[in-house]
A and B are shown apart, each in its own frame.
Chain A
Amino acid sequence: MLQKTIMESFYLLFSFDNELSIIVFTTLKIVLASILIASLISVPLAISISFMKETPKKFLTAIFNSLLAVPTVVIGLFVYMLISNAGPFGEYKLLFTPFAIVIGQTILAIPIITSFILAGFSKTDILMQETIKTLGAGTIEMVKTIAVEHKALILSSILAGFGRVIAEVGISMMLGGNIRFYTRTITTAIALETGKGEFALGLALGIILITIAILVNFFAHYSIKNSSNLRAA
């Protein structure tokens, strides 16, 4: 039976099965949108926190580190309450749409990207901030320069967020509703197919998920290896 399932899953993969393609495309579309929005918020946020004095910086770092432990179903529940018919944003009919998943996944990714960037900043960054300041840069120029100088750290943090978001199931299930050809993602499809005892599609999707995760990790590793660090005398 296992052999048959594996054969079927590979057939689905290499025959470019329509349903499988739509699920993968939907997943990538949602995850990329979430990561893009989360990055646009997290990168300036992390850099701004790094400018702060020791006490508020430590406090905010602890908050973001704590938020890493929040389960996806709790985020799902929180957003569900906001966008369901009875919630404050119910009138926008966002529940069970791809956009609802994007909201939830963005909330999931923000603490991951922010915490990883903050953890990567070291004491040399104080030196760097002073150097940029003394050369006459304003705040925007400073954020831009720090972002450029830490591009490898920022990229690897974004990729860590990507890895977490693409593998989550709670938010996608609760806010997307696992609607076929609309909000069904790789993880919700795997959960559904496994529940039905249809392992072939689930396994094919699992292989795709693992392949994406490996590629993302290789890319992160390569980008960090090839990015030069600060040069100090």
Chain B
Amino acid sequence: MIYKLKDIIYNYGSRKVLDIKNLQIEEGNIHVVSGANGSGKTTLLKIFNALIKVPKGIILFKDKPVEKDNIKLVRNNTVYVHQNPILFSGNVSDNVGYGLKIRKFPKDKIDQTVQQVLNLVGLQNFESRKSNNLSTGEIKRVAIARALAINPEVLILDEPNAHMDRQSLEQIEQTFKDINKIHNTTIIISSHDSSFNNQIAHNIIMLEKGEIVS
């Protein structure tokens, strides 16, 4: 199990957002977190990436508690893509290569990886396109490519299928399946599109008012 969560409680003010008694995420599978708006999907996904600190409960990542000393372990091996991601200024290549640049990869390796991941998300020849000259769907795909570039063990995506046309969606769906199969990447996706969920998921986690119902 790559993640083990036990007795997680997360409140936003007086409102209970998450109350998870027990959750285990198996390595190498595609997991879909589903549920209505406000059911706690985004909060759970951010917990997986240590973007949110949980005041109560135990979270283990690769059997190590997600605490201050292990945050780096989580961040180096997982990446989270927002529902409405932002791109940095510059061009698509600068954005996709960002994670590799801060990891001090050589420029030729960065260029090669950027090209590969852009091909994967169907954005061939987009390297020099300015990031402020892209459509909403293209921004999402660049953000996914940016996450893929660092070759994470766990790819966490918040509603990647929102605002995407059918063709892009099919391509992204296939990309997730390929990455999962080839690199054995664990993928955790939040989505309330049941046909997408059934197409892609090995496991569906159903949330209702912050609690796992199935």
Contact = CB atoms under 8 A, between A and B. Distances in A.
The 10 closest A-B pairs by CB, nearest first: A233-B139, A135-B99, A231-B87, A134-B80, A233-B84, A228-B132, A232-B86, A233-B136, A230-B86, A233-B140
Interface of A: 124, 127-128, 130-131, 133-138, 141, 145, 148-149, 227-233
A152 to B, nearest CB: 10
B177 interface: no
B75 A130 contact: no
B85 A232 contact: yes
Nearest to A130: B51
Nearest to A148: B89
Contact of A149 (B75, B88, B132, B137): B88
Contact of B102 (A136, A149, A227, A230): A136
B21 to A, nearest CB: 27
6 contacts: A136-B76, A228-B132, A231-B134, A231-B139, A232-B84, A233-B163
Contact of B87 (A137, A138, A148, A230): A230
Contacts of A137: 102
Contacts of A149: 88-89
B172 interface: no
A73 to B, nearest CB: 42
A34 to B, nearest CB: 29
Nearest to A144: B102
A69 B136 CA distance: 43
Contacts of A130: 46, 51, 80, 82
B79 interface: yes
Contacts, number: 75
B200 to A, nearest CB: 20
B85 A135 contact: no
Q: Tell which of B76, B81, B85, B102 has the most Cβ of chain A within 10 Å.
A: B102
Given A130-B82, A233-B136, A233-B140, A135 B89 contact: no
B34 interface: no
B187 to A, nearest CB: 15
A128 B85 CA distance: 9
With most chain B CB atoms within 10 A of its CB, the pick from A124, A141, A228 is A228
B82 A131 contact: yes
B14 to A, nearest CB: 16
Q: Select the residue from A136, A138, A229 with max chain B CB neighbours within 10 A.
A: A136
B143 interface: yes
Interface centre among A136, A229, A231 (most CB of B within 10 A): A231
Contacts of A230: 86-89
A136 B86 contact: no
A58 to B, nearest CB: 16
Contacts of A227: 89
B132 A232 contact: no
A231 B132 contact: yes
Nearest to A128: B86
Contacts of A127: 82, 84-86
Contact of A134 (B75, B84, B136, B140): B75
B3 interface: no
B103 interface: yes
B12 to A, nearest CB: 12
Contacts of B89: 148-149, 227-228, 230
Contacts of A148: 88-89
Nearest to A125: B86
A229 B134 CA distance: 13
Given A136-B75, A145-B88, A228-B132, 11 more contacts: A130-B46, A134-B79, A134-B81, A136-B150, A138-B102, A141-B102, A149-B88, A230-B86, A231-B132, A232-B86, A233-B140
